[in-house]
Structure 1
Amino acid sequence: MALPWDFRPLHGERVTLDLLCEDDFEPLYEMQSDPEVCRFLLYEPRSREKVAEVLARDAGAGRLDKPDDFVQPAIRDEDGRFVGTMYFHLQSVEDRTAEIGWILHPSAVGKGYATEAARLLLDVAFDEIGLHRVYAELDPRNDASVAMCLRLGMRHEAHFVEHMWLKDEWSDTGIYAILEREWRGATSRSPNGPSVTA
């Protein structure tokens, strides 16, 4: 694999991925404190103090080198507005595996921003970093994320029933994944690929 890998802005047709910054605090707080946004996430709606802590941590995460390294860039629309975040976590160097995830601001839902942003990261994951497998873990009740995984060409690999005690109830976990060879042959892939700016 081509490690270490240092994050740099990734540009698609309508979205840009870049590192979070202080100016993202208010929209990030709006998103992470919204009960509907947090419904299928691992955490409850966050306080301003917790979001400030998370922002400081994630804004400084810009390198993938060893297991558990992650990047969590902002998704920005055509006008540079914050519309959500991506999550990319290096799970194993030996197995060349990473986890991908996403959260959208309520104002940006249904516009295809997360799908385009995920494609940018998957192109980098397979074409540049040299990963073998990328997977997503999600609550199977999250229909929008399930649909997005399928649009990306990911396979439904597993459904763990009552897998964790979360938010005062037993929750299932779904696993979707895609291999490098599947990504290269996927019809859902953008024909032009990403434009990467150093």
Structure 2
Amino acid sequence: MHPVTRSSARLALRELAAADVDAVLAIYGSPAATEHLSFEPRDREQVEQIVARAVTTATATPRTEYALAVIEQTTAELIGFGRLALDPHQQRGATIGFALRPQVWGRGYGVETVRLLLAFGFDDLALHRIWGARSPLNEASAKTMSAVGMVEEGLIREHVLKAGKWRDSVVHAILEREFRPGS
């Protein structure tokens, strides 16, 4: 499925483009934005590679990864990054990830972004289960996933090595019937 486009009242998802490197760098290069992610802040060259990979995988057949720009509708500005990656170990399953520029935190954009990604996964990709993992210290992410109906399922111990230290991850998931009751 290419190109991906999906929108809500305030946000839109679209495919990443080579011209998005600076906007993605504002997220992935930010110590604040990556504090609870599974990696250290990225430099420009690393972000260029991430965006190039997203552009390439967007036209892969079969497509197994959807790395998408989150666009604020009123400004047409890229404010976030969302990702669905099909899970090779589960039929009709995927992992979800998202990150927003710190300047837009606290506006409800996280919930709106995750709802868009879930709707895309369940409606367009016919997925059965979508799950994501977060840092135990990332309370904003916990609230976001809870607000969209994702259920906290448990802890993956020492799941991520970051800054030379092992960190646990908390798993949240949602099933199609929970997102769209009656389906």
TM-score above 0.5: yes
Q: Which amino acid aligns with 2:65?
A: F
Q: Which amino acid aligns with 1:14?
A: R
Quickly say closer, same or farther: Cα 1:93–1:24, change in 2 above 3 A.
same
Q: Which residue of 2 aligns with 1:75?
A: 70
Tell me how far 1:41 sits from its aligned partner.
1.5
8 Å contact 2:153–2:173 — kept in the other structure? Answer: yes
Quickly say closer, same or farther: Cα 1:64–1:118, change in 2 above 3 A.
farther
Q: Which residue of 2 aligns with 1:118?
A: 114
Alignment of 1:86-101 (within 5 A): 86-92=82-88, 95-101=91-97
| Cα distance in 1 for residues equivalent to 2:89 and 2:3 | 17
Q: Which residue of 1 aligns with 2:31?
A: 35
| Relative contact order, higher structure (CA 8 A, sep 6+) | 1
Quickly say closer, same or farther: Cα 1:61–1:99, change in 2 above 3 A.
same
Q: Which amino acid aligns with 1:167?
A: A
Tell me how far 1:28 sits from its aligned partner.
1.3
Normalising by the residue count of structure 1, what TM-score does the alignment of the two structures yield? 0.83
Q: State the identity %.
A: 30
Tell me how far 1:97 sits from its aligned partner.
0.5
8 Å contact 2:93–2:130 — kept in the other structure? Answer: yes
| Cα distance in 2 for residues equivalent to 1:121 and 1:64 | 19
Q: Which residue of 1 aligns with 2:174?
A: 178
Tell me how far 1:114 sits from its aligned partner.
2.5
Number of residue equivalences? 181
Match of 2:126 among 130, 133, 140: 130
Matched, 1:62 2:94: no
Tell me how far 1:63 sits from its aligned partner.
5.2
Q: Which residue of 2 aligns with 1:194?
A: none
CA displacement 1:97-151 (0-9 Å, x = unmatched): 1011101011111112232122122122222321110001111111111111101
Task: Give the unaligned 5+ runs of structure 2.
Answer: none
Q: Matched residue of 1:88: which SS?
A: strand
| Cα distance in 1 for residues equivalent to 2:23 and 2:2 | 25
Tell me how far 1:88 sits from its aligned partner.
0.5
| Cα distance in 1 for residues equivalent to 2:107 and 2:60 | 29
8 Å contact 2:38–2:161 — kept in the other structure? Answer: no
Q: Which amino acid aligns with 1:24?
A: D
Q: Which residue of 2 aligns with 1:193?
A: none
